[in-house]
C-alpha cells in the first residue's frame, strides 16, 4: 500500500485518460496507491478539490496559497481559515518561500508564509511547505513562528542534508518526489539515505516531475511507486518496508481517514 502524499489531480490533462479521472485512480490502484492528498495552490481551488474529495473517499485535500501564486496579493486569512474547517482538509498549504520564480522585495511572500503558519497552529493542522532557493529564510521563519507546534512536511524536498536536519529538528517530515530518481540528484539521494524512516513521505507532485523511467512525460499518482522503489534501492531495504513506513507516516502526520 502506498500514499501519494502530494498531488494535483485537478491539474492533470485527462485527455490521456479518456477524459475521466476514474482512469487515473484505477491506474494508481493497480500500482498499489490507495490514498491521495490533493493539494491546493490557490484558494480558488477549494470548490474543485472539495468536489474531487467528495467523489473519492480515499482523497484528502488541503487549502492554501502557493508562494508564487498571485504575487503580492494579500492572503484572505478569514477565507483560508473558513475553508480549513472542511472535513476532508487535513493540511494547510502549500505555502512557503520560493525565491527562484519570484523577484524583488519578497516581504509579501514571507508575510503570507507566517499567516499560514499561524492558522495551522490555531487549527492544529499540519503545514505543507514549499521551499526553493530560500533555505535560510524558510528555516528562520519556521523557528521564529514556532511552526514545530503545527508540524508538517517539507514537500518535494530538493535541498541538502543540513537543511533536512534542521527541518527534522522542527518536527517536520521530509517528502521525496520523482526528482530523487534523476541521475544528477546526488545531494538529494544522500538525504534520502539519511532521513529516518519514520519521518519520510513519498509523492508525485503530479502532473509535474515524473520519475525515471517516465521523466519528461506527464506525471500521475501511479508513478509514486517508482519513487518508493528507488528509495528502497538507495537504502538497501525492501520496497515493502518503504511503502509501509511512508504510508504509516502519512496517516500519523495528517490524521487522515483511511478508506
229 labelled binding-site residue: no
| Positions of E strands within 57-199 | 59-63, 89-98, 127-132, 152-154, 172-176
Q: What share of the chain is helix, strand, coil (3-state, %, to 5)?
A: 45, 15, 35
Separation CA 228–CA 200 (nearest Å): 10
Separation CA 65–CA 39 (nearest Å): 10
What cell numbers appear for 1 in the block? 500500500
**Residue burial 60-82, b: 16+ Cβ < 10 Å; e: rest:** bbbbbbbbbbbeeeebeeeebbe
Cis ω before 207 (30° cut-off from 0)? yes
205 labelled binding-site residue: yes
Burial of 224 (0-12, 13-18, 19+ CB in 10 A): buried
8 labelled binding-site residue: yes
Cis ω before 213 (30° cut-off from 0)? yes
- The CA distances from residue 124 to 10, 116, 117, 177, 257, in Å, are 26, 12, 10, 26, 16
Q: Are 242 and 202 in contact (CB under 8 A)?
A: yes
6 labelled binding-site residue: yes
Annotated binding site for a divalent metal cation: 6, 8, 94, 130, 155, 205
Annotated binding site: 6, 8, 94, 130, 155, 205
Amino acid at each position: 500500500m502506498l500514499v501519494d502524499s502530494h498531488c494535483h489531480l485537478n491539474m492533470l490533462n485527462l485527455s490521456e485518460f479518456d477524459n475521466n479521472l476514474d482512469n487515473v485512480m484505477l491506474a494508481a490502484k493497480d500500482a498499489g496507491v490507495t490514498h491521495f492528498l490533493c493539494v491546493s495552490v490557490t484558494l480558488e481551488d477549494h470548490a474543485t478539490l472539495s468536489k474531487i474529495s467528495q467523489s473519492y473517499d480515499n482523497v484528502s485535500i488541503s487549502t492554501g496559497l502557493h508562494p508564487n501564486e498571485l504575487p503580492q496579493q494579500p492572503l484572505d486569512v478569514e477565507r483560508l481559515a473558513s475553508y480549513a474547517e472542511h472535513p476532508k482538509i487535513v493540511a494547510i498549504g502549500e505555502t512557503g518561500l520560493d525565491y527562484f520564480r519570484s523577484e524583488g522585495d519578497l516581504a509579501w511572500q514571507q508575510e503570507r508564509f507566517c499567516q499560514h503558519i499561524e492558522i495551522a497552529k490555531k487549527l492544529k493542522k499540519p503545514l505543507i511547505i514549499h521551499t526553493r532557493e530560500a533555505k535560510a529564510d524558510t528555516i528562520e521563519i519556521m523557528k521564529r513562528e514556532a511552526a514545530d507546534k503545527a508540524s508538517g512536511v517539507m514537500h518535494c524536498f530538493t535541498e541538502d542534508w543540513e537543511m533536512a536536519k534542521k527541518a527534522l529538528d522542527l518536527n517536520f517530515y521530509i517528502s521525496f518526489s520523482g526528482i530523487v530518481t534523476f541521475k544528477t540528484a546526488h545531494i538529494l539521494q544522500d538525504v534520502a539515505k539519511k532521513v529516518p524512516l519514520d519521518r519520510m513521505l513519498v509523492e508525485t507532485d503530479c502532473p509535474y516531475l515524473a520519475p525515471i523511467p517516465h521523466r519528461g512525460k506527464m506525471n500521475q499518482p501511479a508513478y509514486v511507486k517508482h519513487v518508493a522503489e528507488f528509495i528502497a534501492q538507495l537504502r538497501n531495504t525492501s520496497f515493502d518496508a518503504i511503502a509501509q513506513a511512508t504510508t504509516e507516516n502519512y496517516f500519523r502526520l495528517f490524521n487522515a481517514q483511511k478508506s
